[in-house]
Amino acid sequence: MILAFFLMELIIDSGEAWAIVKYPVIWVVLGMVFFFAIALEIIVAALQRILFSGLTPEAKENYLAAEKVREQNRFGWIKRKYVEMLGAKPMSKESEIVLDHNYDGIRELDNKLPPWWTYLFYVSIVFGVAYFVYYEVFDGPSQIDEYETDVAEAQVAIAEFKKNNKDLIDAESVEQLTDPADIAAGKTIFTENCVACHKDGGAGGIGPNLTDDNWILGGGIKNVFHTVSEGGRAGKGMIAWKSDLKPSEIAQVASYVLSLHGTNPPDAKAPEGDIWTDGNTPVDVNAKTVDSTQTNVETTNAAVTDSIKPGN
Ligand code: HEC
Protein backbone atom coordinates (compact mmCIF):
# COMPACT_ATOMS: atom_id res chain seq x y z
CA MET A 1 0.00 0.00 0.00
CA ILE A 2 2.82 2.36 0.88
CA LEU A 3 4.50 1.56 -2.41
CA ALA A 4 1.24 2.07 -4.27
CA PHE A 5 0.78 5.39 -2.50
CA PHE A 6 4.19 6.77 -3.43
CA LEU A 7 3.98 5.37 -6.93
CA MET A 8 0.75 7.25 -7.51
CA GLU A 9 2.12 10.44 -6.00
CA LEU A 10 5.05 10.08 -8.37
CA ILE A 11 3.22 9.44 -11.62
CA ILE A 12 0.06 11.53 -11.17
CA ASP A 13 0.60 15.18 -11.98
CA SER A 14 -1.24 17.10 -9.31
CA GLY A 15 0.77 20.32 -9.25
CA GLU A 16 1.67 21.59 -5.79
CA ALA A 17 -0.99 19.59 -3.96
CA TRP A 18 -0.81 15.93 -2.99
CA ALA A 19 -2.39 13.75 -5.63
CA ILE A 20 -4.44 12.03 -2.94
CA VAL A 21 -5.92 15.38 -1.90
CA LYS A 22 -6.61 16.51 -5.44
CA TYR A 23 -8.06 13.23 -6.67
CA PRO A 24 -9.95 11.57 -3.79
CA VAL A 25 -10.60 8.56 -6.06
CA ILE A 26 -7.05 7.48 -5.14
CA TRP A 27 -8.46 6.48 -1.74
CA VAL A 28 -10.65 3.98 -3.55
CA VAL A 29 -7.66 2.61 -5.48
CA LEU A 30 -5.63 2.31 -2.27
CA GLY A 31 -8.60 0.60 -0.60
CA MET A 32 -8.69 -1.91 -3.45
CA VAL A 33 -4.94 -2.51 -3.12
CA PHE A 34 -5.53 -3.08 0.60
CA PHE A 35 -8.23 -5.71 0.04
CA PHE A 36 -6.14 -7.32 -2.67
CA ALA A 37 -3.23 -7.63 -0.21
CA ILE A 38 -5.50 -9.17 2.43
CA ALA A 39 -6.90 -11.62 -0.10
CA LEU A 40 -3.38 -12.58 -1.15
CA GLU A 41 -2.38 -13.21 2.48
CA ILE A 42 -5.42 -15.41 3.03
CA ILE A 43 -4.77 -17.43 -0.13
CA VAL A 44 -1.11 -17.96 0.74
CA ALA A 45 -1.97 -19.04 4.31
CA ALA A 46 -4.63 -21.46 3.04
CA LEU A 47 -2.23 -22.97 0.49
CA GLN A 48 0.38 -23.41 3.19
CA ARG A 49 -2.08 -25.19 5.43
CA ILE A 50 -3.16 -27.55 2.66
CA LEU A 51 0.42 -28.37 1.71
CA PHE A 52 1.36 -28.84 5.35
CA SER A 53 -1.44 -31.29 6.04
CA GLY A 54 -0.22 -33.40 3.09
CA LEU A 55 3.25 -33.88 4.60
CA THR A 56 4.53 -36.98 6.39
CA PRO A 57 4.99 -36.55 10.17
CA GLU A 58 8.76 -36.45 9.72
CA ALA A 59 8.59 -33.79 7.01
CA LYS A 60 6.22 -31.82 9.20
CA GLU A 61 8.79 -31.75 11.97
CA ASN A 62 11.54 -30.66 9.60
CA TYR A 63 9.34 -27.97 8.22
CA LEU A 64 8.51 -26.61 11.67
CA ALA A 65 12.19 -26.61 12.67
CA ALA A 66 13.12 -24.74 9.49
CA GLU A 67 10.36 -22.24 10.17
CA LYS A 68 11.74 -21.64 13.65
CA VAL A 69 15.23 -20.90 12.32
CA ARG A 70 13.77 -18.59 9.72
CA GLU A 71 11.84 -16.78 12.46
CA GLN A 72 15.03 -16.30 14.49
CA ASN A 73 16.95 -14.95 11.52
CA ARG A 74 14.25 -12.54 10.57
CA PHE A 75 15.78 -9.06 10.10
CA GLY A 76 19.17 -10.70 10.75
CA TRP A 77 20.64 -8.63 7.97
CA ILE A 78 19.59 -5.39 9.65
CA LYS A 79 20.83 -6.57 13.06
CA ARG A 80 24.22 -7.55 11.62
CA LYS A 81 24.54 -4.27 9.70
CA TYR A 82 23.68 -2.31 12.84
CA VAL A 83 26.41 -3.95 14.90
CA GLU A 84 28.83 -3.52 12.01
CA MET A 85 28.04 0.18 11.72
CA LEU A 86 28.64 0.75 15.43
CA GLY A 87 32.09 -0.78 14.87
CA ALA A 88 32.60 -1.48 18.57
CA LYS A 89 34.78 -4.40 19.60
CA PRO A 90 32.91 -6.90 21.75
CA MET A 91 34.05 -6.75 25.37
CA SER A 92 35.63 -10.21 25.11
CA LYS A 93 38.05 -8.88 22.46
CA GLU A 94 39.00 -5.62 24.15
CA SER A 95 42.35 -7.03 25.16
CA GLU A 96 43.35 -6.76 21.47
CA ILE A 97 43.05 -2.99 21.43
CA VAL A 98 44.05 -1.94 24.91
CA LEU A 99 47.05 0.45 24.84
CA ASP A 100 50.06 -0.46 26.90
CA HIS A 101 50.08 2.52 29.25
CA ASN A 102 48.40 2.41 32.60
CA TYR A 103 47.70 5.49 34.73
CA ASP A 104 46.96 4.40 38.26
CA GLY A 105 44.83 1.61 36.95
CA ILE A 106 43.12 3.65 34.23
CA ARG A 107 43.76 2.10 30.84
CA GLU A 108 42.85 3.24 27.36
CA LEU A 109 41.24 1.43 24.46
CA ASP A 110 42.30 2.29 20.92
CA ASN A 111 38.81 2.12 19.41
CA LYS A 112 38.39 2.88 15.71
CA LEU A 113 35.97 5.59 14.68
CA PRO A 114 32.52 4.03 14.27
CA PRO A 115 31.87 3.30 10.58
CA TRP A 116 28.54 5.16 10.52
CA TRP A 117 30.45 8.27 11.56
CA THR A 118 33.22 7.92 8.97
CA TYR A 119 30.68 7.22 6.20
CA LEU A 120 28.80 10.37 7.12
CA PHE A 121 32.10 12.20 6.97
CA TYR A 122 32.78 10.88 3.44
CA VAL A 123 29.29 11.88 2.38
CA SER A 124 29.91 15.40 3.65
CA ILE A 125 33.15 15.57 1.64
CA VAL A 126 31.35 14.49 -1.53
CA PHE A 127 28.62 16.99 -0.81
CA GLY A 128 31.15 19.75 -0.20
CA VAL A 129 32.93 19.08 -3.50
CA ALA A 130 29.63 18.97 -5.41
CA TYR A 131 28.50 22.16 -3.72
CA PHE A 132 31.73 23.97 -4.49
CA VAL A 133 31.74 22.88 -8.12
CA TYR A 134 28.08 23.77 -8.67
CA TYR A 135 28.15 27.19 -7.03
CA GLU A 136 31.73 28.39 -7.48
CA VAL A 137 33.07 26.70 -10.62
CA PHE A 138 29.87 26.61 -12.67
CA ASP A 139 28.43 29.80 -11.18
CA GLY A 140 25.20 28.36 -9.79
CA PRO A 141 22.58 30.84 -8.62
CA SER A 142 23.64 32.87 -5.60
CA GLN A 143 21.39 33.34 -2.58
CA ILE A 144 20.45 36.76 -3.94
CA ASP A 145 19.53 35.28 -7.33
CA GLU A 146 17.43 32.64 -5.64
CA TYR A 147 15.77 35.25 -3.46
CA GLU A 148 14.97 37.39 -6.47
CA THR A 149 13.57 34.45 -8.42
CA ASP A 150 11.36 33.57 -5.45
CA VAL A 151 10.13 37.13 -5.10
CA ALA A 152 9.38 37.36 -8.82
CA GLU A 153 7.46 34.09 -8.65
CA ALA A 154 5.57 35.27 -5.59
CA GLN A 155 4.65 38.51 -7.33
CA VAL A 156 3.26 36.62 -10.29
CA ALA A 157 1.28 34.48 -7.85
CA ILE A 158 -0.02 37.56 -6.03
CA ALA A 159 -1.08 39.21 -9.30
CA GLU A 160 -2.83 36.01 -10.31
CA PHE A 161 -4.50 35.77 -6.88
CA LYS A 162 -5.67 39.38 -7.04
CA LYS A 163 -7.06 38.81 -10.52
CA ASN A 164 -9.09 35.84 -9.30
CA ASN A 165 -10.13 37.34 -5.96
CA LYS A 166 -11.10 40.89 -6.81
CA ASP A 167 -13.64 41.01 -4.01
CA LEU A 168 -11.15 40.35 -1.23
CA ILE A 169 -10.19 44.01 -1.04
CA ASP A 170 -11.17 46.44 1.68
CA ALA A 171 -10.47 50.10 2.42
CA GLU A 172 -7.01 49.16 3.70
CA SER A 173 -5.82 47.09 0.76
CA VAL A 174 -7.61 48.81 -2.12
CA GLU A 175 -5.51 50.38 -4.85
CA GLN A 176 -6.67 52.94 -7.36
CA LEU A 177 -7.57 51.26 -10.65
CA THR A 178 -6.36 52.89 -13.85
CA ASP A 179 -7.40 50.31 -16.41
CA PRO A 180 -9.84 52.03 -18.83
CA ALA A 181 -12.13 48.98 -18.58
CA ASP A 182 -12.38 49.43 -14.79
CA ILE A 183 -12.99 53.16 -15.11
CA ALA A 184 -15.70 52.51 -17.70
CA ALA A 185 -17.31 49.94 -15.39
CA GLY A 186 -17.07 52.48 -12.56
CA LYS A 187 -18.77 55.08 -14.72
CA THR A 188 -21.67 52.70 -15.43
CA ILE A 189 -22.08 52.02 -11.70
CA PHE A 190 -21.95 55.75 -11.01
CA THR A 191 -24.60 56.50 -13.66
CA GLU A 192 -26.87 53.82 -12.25
CA ASN A 193 -26.53 54.64 -8.55
CA CYS A 194 -24.95 57.96 -7.83
CA VAL A 195 -25.93 60.65 -10.36
CA ALA A 196 -29.23 61.33 -8.57
CA CYS A 197 -27.30 63.07 -5.79
CA HIS A 198 -23.85 63.74 -7.21
CA LYS A 199 -24.99 64.72 -10.73
CA ASP A 200 -23.50 63.65 -14.00
CA GLY A 201 -19.73 63.88 -13.92
CA GLY A 202 -19.77 64.31 -10.12
CA ALA A 203 -20.66 68.02 -10.25
CA GLY A 204 -22.60 67.71 -7.00
CA GLY A 205 -26.25 68.24 -5.99
CA ILE A 206 -27.64 66.77 -2.82
CA GLY A 207 -24.22 65.19 -2.40
CA PRO A 208 -20.99 67.17 -2.60
CA ASN A 209 -18.94 68.00 -5.68
CA LEU A 210 -16.61 65.04 -6.31
CA THR A 211 -14.33 66.73 -8.82
CA ASP A 212 -12.65 69.42 -6.73
CA ASP A 213 -9.70 69.33 -4.33
CA ASN A 214 -11.96 69.38 -1.27
CA TRP A 215 -13.19 66.34 0.56
CA ILE A 216 -15.50 66.18 3.55
CA LEU A 217 -14.64 62.60 4.39
CA GLY A 218 -11.15 62.44 2.99
CA GLY A 219 -9.82 61.96 -0.54
CA GLY A 220 -7.61 59.28 -1.95
CA ILE A 221 -8.72 55.81 -2.94
CA LYS A 222 -8.78 54.40 0.60
CA ASN A 223 -11.06 57.09 2.01
CA VAL A 224 -13.33 57.22 -1.01
CA PHE A 225 -13.62 53.43 -0.94
CA HIS A 226 -14.43 53.65 2.77
CA THR A 227 -17.05 56.38 2.25
CA VAL A 228 -18.80 54.54 -0.56
CA SER A 229 -18.68 51.24 1.29
CA GLU A 230 -19.66 52.49 4.77
CA GLY A 231 -21.60 55.64 3.89
CA GLY A 232 -21.22 59.28 4.99
CA ARG A 233 -22.11 60.91 8.28
CA ALA A 234 -25.42 59.90 9.75
CA GLY A 235 -28.40 61.80 8.40
CA LYS A 236 -26.60 63.36 5.44
CA GLY A 237 -28.05 61.01 2.85
CA MET A 238 -25.00 59.06 1.70
CA ILE A 239 -25.84 55.45 2.46
CA ALA A 240 -23.44 52.54 2.87
CA TRP A 241 -23.23 50.83 -0.49
CA LYS A 242 -21.53 47.66 0.65
CA SER A 243 -24.76 45.70 0.61
CA ASP A 244 -25.57 46.80 -2.96
CA LEU A 245 -22.12 46.79 -4.53
CA LYS A 246 -19.39 44.18 -4.43
CA PRO A 247 -15.97 45.31 -3.15
CA SER A 248 -14.63 45.10 -6.71
CA GLU A 249 -17.43 47.37 -7.90
CA ILE A 250 -16.82 49.84 -5.09
CA ALA A 251 -13.17 49.93 -6.13
CA GLN A 252 -14.23 50.63 -9.70
CA VAL A 253 -16.69 53.40 -8.86
CA ALA A 254 -14.23 54.91 -6.35
CA SER A 255 -11.52 54.90 -9.00
CA TYR A 256 -13.96 56.49 -11.45
CA VAL A 257 -14.77 59.20 -8.88
CA LEU A 258 -11.06 59.92 -8.44
CA SER A 259 -10.60 60.06 -12.21
CA LEU A 260 -13.08 62.98 -12.21
CA HIS A 261 -10.68 65.12 -10.20
CA GLY A 262 -10.10 68.51 -11.79
CA THR A 263 -12.62 68.01 -14.60
CA ASN A 264 -14.57 71.19 -13.68
CA PRO A 265 -18.03 70.07 -14.84
CA PRO A 266 -20.60 72.82 -15.61
CA ASP A 267 -22.81 74.00 -12.70
CA ALA A 268 -20.42 72.47 -10.20
CA LYS A 269 -21.34 72.73 -6.54
CA ALA A 270 -19.09 74.89 -4.36
CA PRO A 271 -16.28 73.03 -2.58
CA GLU A 272 -17.05 71.52 0.83
CA GLY A 273 -14.63 70.09 3.35
CA ASP A 274 -10.87 70.34 3.50
CA ILE A 275 -8.35 70.48 0.72
CA TRP A 276 -6.99 67.00 0.44
CA THR A 277 -3.25 66.53 0.16
CA ASP A 278 -2.08 63.11 1.25
CA GLY A 279 -3.97 60.50 -0.67
CA ASN A 280 -3.56 57.69 1.78
CA THR A 281 -4.24 58.66 5.38
CA PRO A 282 -7.48 57.02 6.45
CA VAL A 283 -9.96 59.36 8.08
CA ASP A 284 -12.12 58.58 11.08
CA VAL A 285 -15.60 59.54 9.99
CA ASN A 286 -16.74 60.59 13.48
CA ALA A 287 -13.69 62.71 14.13
CA LYS A 288 -14.27 64.29 10.75
CA THR A 289 -17.72 65.48 11.86
CA VAL A 290 -16.09 67.82 14.33
CA ASP A 291 -13.43 68.87 11.85
CA SER A 292 -15.78 69.86 9.13
CA THR A 293 -18.00 71.92 11.42
CA GLN A 294 -14.85 73.74 12.42
CA THR A 295 -14.05 74.26 8.78
CA ASN A 296 -17.48 75.71 8.27
CA VAL A 297 -17.01 78.06 11.21
CA GLU A 298 -13.68 79.15 9.83
CA THR A 299 -15.16 79.78 6.42
CA THR A 300 -17.95 81.85 7.96
CA ASN A 301 -15.44 83.79 10.02
CA ALA A 302 -13.38 84.42 6.92
CA ALA A 303 -16.47 85.63 5.11
CA VAL A 304 -17.29 87.96 8.00
CA THR A 305 -13.76 89.32 8.11
CA ASP A 306 -13.88 89.81 4.37
CA SER A 307 -17.10 91.75 4.53
CA ILE A 308 -15.87 94.17 7.17
CA LYS A 309 -12.65 94.97 5.35
CA PRO A 310 -12.43 98.68 4.63
CA GLY A 311 -12.42 98.01 0.89
CA ASN A 312 -15.79 96.30 1.02
C1 HEC B 1 -29.14 59.92 -1.75
C2 HEC B 1 -28.09 60.77 -2.29
C3 HEC B 1 -26.74 60.12 -2.57
C4 HEC B 1 -26.47 59.06 -3.38
C5 HEC B 1 -27.44 58.20 -4.19
C6 HEC B 1 -25.03 58.91 -3.34
N7 HEC B 1 -24.46 59.85 -2.54
FE8 HEC B 1 -22.51 60.08 -2.18
N9 HEC B 1 -22.90 61.55 -0.88
C10 HEC B 1 -24.16 62.06 -0.60
C11 HEC B 1 -24.07 63.01 0.48
C12 HEC B 1 -25.21 63.80 1.10
C13 HEC B 1 -22.71 63.05 0.84
C14 HEC B 1 -22.07 63.86 1.95
C15 HEC B 1 -21.96 62.95 3.16
C16 HEC B 1 -21.47 63.66 4.39
O17 HEC B 1 -21.37 64.86 4.41
O18 HEC B 1 -21.15 62.90 5.34
C19 HEC B 1 -22.01 62.13 -0.04
C20 HEC B 1 -20.65 61.92 -0.01
C21 HEC B 1 -19.99 61.14 -0.92
C22 HEC B 1 -18.57 61.05 -0.99
C23 HEC B 1 -17.59 61.77 -0.08
C24 HEC B 1 -17.37 63.17 -0.59
C25 HEC B 1 -16.44 63.96 0.29
O26 HEC B 1 -16.34 65.15 0.04
O27 HEC B 1 -15.83 63.37 1.19
C28 HEC B 1 -18.27 60.19 -2.00
C29 HEC B 1 -16.90 59.76 -2.47
C30 HEC B 1 -19.52 59.75 -2.55
N31 HEC B 1 -20.54 60.34 -1.88
C32 HEC B 1 -19.63 58.86 -3.59
C33 HEC B 1 -20.84 58.31 -3.97
C34 HEC B 1 -20.96 57.22 -4.88
C35 HEC B 1 -19.81 56.54 -5.60
C36 HEC B 1 -22.28 56.94 -4.99
C37 HEC B 1 -22.94 55.87 -5.82
C38 HEC B 1 -22.52 54.51 -5.51
C39 HEC B 1 -22.98 57.88 -4.15
N40 HEC B 1 -22.08 58.68 -3.54
C41 HEC B 1 -24.35 57.92 -4.03
C42 HEC B 1 -25.34 61.69 -1.20
C43 HEC B 1 -25.48 60.61 -2.05
Closest CA to 216 of 200, 237, 195: 237
- Residue where one domain finishes, among candidates 56, 81, 96: 56
Is residue 133 included in any domain, yes or no?
A: no
Q: Whole domain around residue 246: which residue ranges?
A: 180-293
To test ligand 1's pocket by mutation, which of 182, 187, 198 has the most ligand atoms within 8 angstroms of CB? 198
Q: How many domains does the chain have?
A: 2
pLDDT tens column, 102-119: 899 998 988 888 999 999
Q: Do the domain assignments include residue 277?
A: yes
For residue 27, being part of any structural domain is answered with yes
pLDDT of 213-224, one tens digit each? 999 999 999 999
- Whether residue 80 lies inside any domain: the answer is no
DSSP state of 214: E
Task: Tell which phi-psi region holds residue 85, choosing left (phi > 0), alpha (psi between -120 and 50) or beta.
Answer: alpha
Nearest CA to ligand 1 atom 7: 238
Does residue 212 come out as left (phi exceeding 0), alpha (psi in the -120 to 50 range) or beta? beta
265 inside domain: yes
User: Consecutive sets of 10 residues in the chain, 312 residues long: mean pLDDT of each?
Assistant: 89 85 90 94 95 92 92 87 86 87 90 91 97 92 93 94 85 90 95 94 93 92 94 92 94 95 90 78 48 43 46 44
Ligand 1 near 242 CB (within 6 A): no
Query: Which pLDDT score, from 0 to 100, does residue 272 have?
Result: 92
Distance, in Å, from the CA atom of 73 to the CA atom of 66, rounded to the nearest integer, reads 11
Distance between CA atoms of 266 and 262, rounded to whole angstroms? 12
Q: Please identify, among 56, 73, 88, the residue that sits at the C-terminal boundary of a domain.
A: 56
Indicate which atom in ligand 1 lies nearest the CA of residue 285.
18
Q: Is residue 259 part of a domain?
A: yes
CA 160 – CA 179 distance, rounded (Å): 16
C-beta of 207 in contact with ligand 1 (< 6 A): yes
H or E element: which one contains 100?
strand 98-103
Please indicate, yes or no, if residue 78 is contained in any of the structural domains.
no
Whether this model's pTM surpasses 0.85: no
Q: Which helix (H) or strand (E) holds 106?
A: strand 106-109
- The CATH code of the domain that includes 233 is 1.10.760.10
Asked if residue 304 is part of any domain, the answer here is no
